[in-house]
């Protein structure tokens, strides 16, 4: 006959702390809710899968600085189009799929994690007080620290809408055109979006390298096709030139204007300048240094668990952009990792609670794949099919709302 203490341990909810409420964090939370309730995870794509035979009591806490889910894929369009901006950010409390008695949201920032004690120090942004949160499992999915215009800097939905409207007004009033500095994914999508929304607006994209998307492991024909699509849309693309000086000048009838000096001495005048050059930084300062690479990414195993040198490593997982893994950082990849992390957390729970041998789902290497929305055309690369582009691909890949109501995102927001 087990003791009362043992019985209490058996019926206690597993406490799961998820750091980050974006693609990876929410997909993990929802998949874990499903599995613990004895259902197939909503992200499951294996037709042969069967629902779990046992239920596991779980309580999930999601910590995020924002008050809602921000559709990062749609950022270039949201910051340029007022109508689209309001659809891009949904508060957690307004998303039906997240309204579960087994899930709560804390708007805050994790300052430190003690893997040995399984506890986290969290700054509650509503009360401005630090609270301690104990957990049985930690899933780190806090993403990268990105600057504007890659992502808005606001943490509240109504502040984001104000930020977006202010940005849109600056674009509309830029009589001398808009210059975007930096030809990465954000820069090229923003340039195309601005030209699509206002074909009469002069849009110039300046990139310091000889090809766009120079930092990505992609073939030259893909990068060249992106350049061609932009130029066909009316965007002026300047390659191999660095902006070495930006000076504000007085212009009659315009709120503000700028003179940009390029590395070859050429000068460009602009009514609005957007800097899309930034080095995104992993938000992993709260994690033990022994779990991180030199660049601050989490060294995960193929099961998404922390490296074995970390205390309680099997109860700590990382996914999404902060995980050190192959491939290009993508929202789809983060959701895939979130589903796998939840599956493996559930396996550990079953092992501990019912003495069932865990069967982990492991990641394969991610190949370099990408899809860019350039106005009404998508340019896509996969190793199997190479570079493709077209309006039909835009419909397939992004629909009419930058993928917001795609079958994957719908499983998060509906």
Q: pLDDT-based confidence at 7, cuts 50/70/90?
A: very low
Q: Where are the domains of the chain?
A: 14-146+280-366, 157-279+370-407
| pLDDT above 70 for 20 | yes
Span 149-163, average pLDDT: 89
Across the chain, what does the average pLDDT equal? 90
Pairing between β-strand 119-124 and β-strand 129-134 as defined by DSSP bridges? antiparallel
Q: Which CATH architecture has domain 14-146+280-366?
A: 3-Layer(bba) Sandwich (3.50)
C-alpha 267/C-alpha 289 separation (Å) is 45
| Domain 157-279+370-407 coded CATH 3.50.50.60 | yes
Q: Taking a C-beta distance cutoff of 8 angstroms, is the pair 410, 401 a contact? A: no
* Separation between Cα atoms, residue 398 and residue 408, nearest integer Å: 12
Tokens of 151: 């992502």
Residue 336 has pLDDT above 90, yes or no: yes
Where is 27: in which H helix or E strand? helix 23-36
- Choose between 357 and 396: higher pLDDT: 357
Q: What is the pLDDT of residues 220-262, one digit of tens each?
A: 999 999 999 999 999 999 999 999 999 988 766 556 789 999 9
Rounded to the nearest 10 degrees, how much is the dihedral formed by the CA atoms of 296, 297, 298, 301? -140
Q: Report the distance separating Cα 56 and Cα 240, nearest Å.
A: 57
pLDDT-above-70 percentage for the chain = 93
Whether residue 3 has pLDDT greater than 60? no
Please give the order of strands across the beta sheet that includes 243-249. Answer: 243-249, 257-262, 267-270
pLDDT of amino acid 405: 61
The sheet that has 58-64: what strands, in order across it?
A: 129-134, 119-124, 103-114, 58-64, 14-19, 137-140, 316-318
Mean pLDDT of 345-352: 97
Contact 138, 288 (CB under 8 A): no
Mean pLDDT value of segment 20-28: 95
172 band by pLDDT with thresholds 50, 70 and 90:
confident
The tokens 């942004």 sit on which residue?
125
Q: What SS3 class is residue 312?
A: coil
Give the C-alpha separation, 353 to 356, whole Å.
Answer: 8
pTM of the model: 0.91
Q: Residue 414: pLDDT above 80?
A: no
Residue 1: predicted pLDDT:
39
pLDDT of 270 reads: 92
- Of 226-235, 385-394, 399-408, the poorest mean pLDDT is in 399-408
Give per-residue pLDDT as tens, 66-82.
Answer: 999 998 888 888 888 77
**Cα Rg of the chain, angstroms:** 23
**What confidence tens digit (pLDDT) does each residue in 294-304 have?**
999 999 999 99
Does 157-279+370-407 match 14-146+280-366 at the fold level?
yes
The angle subtended at Cα 391 by Cα 390 and Cα 393, nearest 5°, is 70
pLDDT for 363 equals 95
Number of H helices, E strands in the chain: 10, 21
105 neighbors 98 (Cβ within 8 angstroms): yes
Asked if residue 132 has pLDDT above 80, the reply is: yes
SS3 label, residue 111: strand
pLDDT of residue 87: 85
| Mean pLDDT to the nearest integer, 76-90 | 83
Place of tokens 């995980």: 323
* pLDDT reported for residue 4: 41
Res. 356: pLDDT tops 60? yes
Structure tokens at 93: 């409390």
Sort residue 77 into left (φ over 0), alpha (ψ -120 to 50) or beta: alpha
Mean pLDDT of 311-321: 97
């Amino acid at each position: 006959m087990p003791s009362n203490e043992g019985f209490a341990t058996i019926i206690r909810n597993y406490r799961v702390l998820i750091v980050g409420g974006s693609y990876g964090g929410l997909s993990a939370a929802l998949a874990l809710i499903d599995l613990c309730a004895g259902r197939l995870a909503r992200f499951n794509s294996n037709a042969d899968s069967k629902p779990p035979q046992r239920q596991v009591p779980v309580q999930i806490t999601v910590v995020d600085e924002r008050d809602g889910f921000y559709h990062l894929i749609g950022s270039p369009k949201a910051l340029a189009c007022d109508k689209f901006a309001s659809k891009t950010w949904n508060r957690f409390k307004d998303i039906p799929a997240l309204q579960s008695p087994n899930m709560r949201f804390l708007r805050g920032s994790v300052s430190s994690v003690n893997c040995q004690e399984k506890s986290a120090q969290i700054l509650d942004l509503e009360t401005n007080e630090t609270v301690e949160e104990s957990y049985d499992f930690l899933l780190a999915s806090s993403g990268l620290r990105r600057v504007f215009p890659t992502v808005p800097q606001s943490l509240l939905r109504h502040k984001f809408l104000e930020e977006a409207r202010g940005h849109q007004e600056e674009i509309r009033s830029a009589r001398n055109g808009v210059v975007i500095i930096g030809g990465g994914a954000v820069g090229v999508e923003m340039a195309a979006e601005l030209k699509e929304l206002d074909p009469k607006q002069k849009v110039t994209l300046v990139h310091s390298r000889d090809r766009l998307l120079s930092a990505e492991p992609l073939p030259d024909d893909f990068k060249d096709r992106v350049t061609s699509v932009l130029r066909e849309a009316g965007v002026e693309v300047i390659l191999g030139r660095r902006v070495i000086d930006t000076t504000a000048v007085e212009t009659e009838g315009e709120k503000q204007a700028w003179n940009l000096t390029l590395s070859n001495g050429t000068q460009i005048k602009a009514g609005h300048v957007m800097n899309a050059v930034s080095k995104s930084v992993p938000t992993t300062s709260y994690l033990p240094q022994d779990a991180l690479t030199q660049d601050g990414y989490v060294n995960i195993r193929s099961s998404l668990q922390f490296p074995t040198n970390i205390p309680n490593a099997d109860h700590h997982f990382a996914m999404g952009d902060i995980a050190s893994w192959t491939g290009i950082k993508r929202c789809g990849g983060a959701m895939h990792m979130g589903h796998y992390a939840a599956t493996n957390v559930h396996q550990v729970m079953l092992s501990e609670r019912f003495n069932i041998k865990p069967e982990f789902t492991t990641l394969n290497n991610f190949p370099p794949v990408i899809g860019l929305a350039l106005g009404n055309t998508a340019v896509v690369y996969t190793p199997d099919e190479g570079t493709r582009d077209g309006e039909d691909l835009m419909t397939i890949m992004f629909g009419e709302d930058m993928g917001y109501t795609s079958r994957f995102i719908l499983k998060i927001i509906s």
